[in-house]
């Protein structure tokens, strides 16, 4: 099995487990990008505890699901957006104001769109969750 996009694979695995009502899901293969996105989701209450397990083959994340995700997915192709354009992308990918998150890869690391707006940063749009 060939996986070209680790982040997309992780998000789709979480979405499928959430729809089936699982309380935990194992996300593998792992990467720093996936870990950063999971930590942001944990900070905003979309997932519970996130545990990294180093198995000697790249590692995996065990994620406790809380049943709070309605939709989650990658943004393809990955668009570069300016900080002034974030509200337009919110309208495109999120269902309503102040519901959901966009994930951006910025010069200050992976941030939610809320943090990116506060800091006045743009970046590459990676994914969304609500």
* Inter-residue contact 93 to 99 (CB < 8 Å): no
Checking if the pLDDT of 77 tops 80, the result is yes
Show the domains of the chain with their CATH numbers: 6-65 (3.30.1370.30), 72-129 (3.30.1490.10)
- The pTM (predicted TM-score) of the whole model is 0.92
Please state, in angstroms and as integers, the Cα–Cα distance from residue 26 to each residue in 14, 23, 63, 88, following that order.
9, 11, 6, 34
What distance in Å separates the CA atoms of residue 86 and residue 96, rounded to the nearest whole number?
14
pLDDT in tens, 29-64: 899 999 999 999 999 999 999 999 999 888 999 999
What distance in Å separates the CA atoms of residue 100 and residue 122, rounded to the nearest whole number?
18
Banded model confidence at residue 4, pLDDT cuts 50, 70, 90: confident
Checking if the pLDDT of 28 tops 70, the result is yes
The confidence score (pLDDT) of residue 82 equals 95
């Amino acid at each position: 099995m060939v996986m070209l996009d680790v982040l997309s694979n992780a998000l789709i695995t979480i979405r499928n487990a959430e729809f089936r009502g699982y309380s935990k899901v194992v996300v593998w293969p792992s990467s720093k990008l996936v870990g950063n996105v999971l930590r942001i989701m944990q900070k905003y209450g979309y997932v519970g505890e996130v545990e990294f397990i180093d198995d000697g083959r790249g590692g995996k994340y065990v994620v406790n699901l809380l049943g709070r995700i309605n939709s989650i997915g990658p943004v393809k192709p990955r668009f570069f957006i300016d900080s002034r354009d974030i509200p337009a992308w919110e309208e495109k990918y999120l269902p309503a104001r102040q519901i959901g998150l966009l994930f951006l890869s910025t010069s200050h690391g992976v941030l939610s769109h809320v943090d990116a707006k506060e800091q006045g940063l743009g970046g590459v749009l990676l994914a969304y969750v609500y």
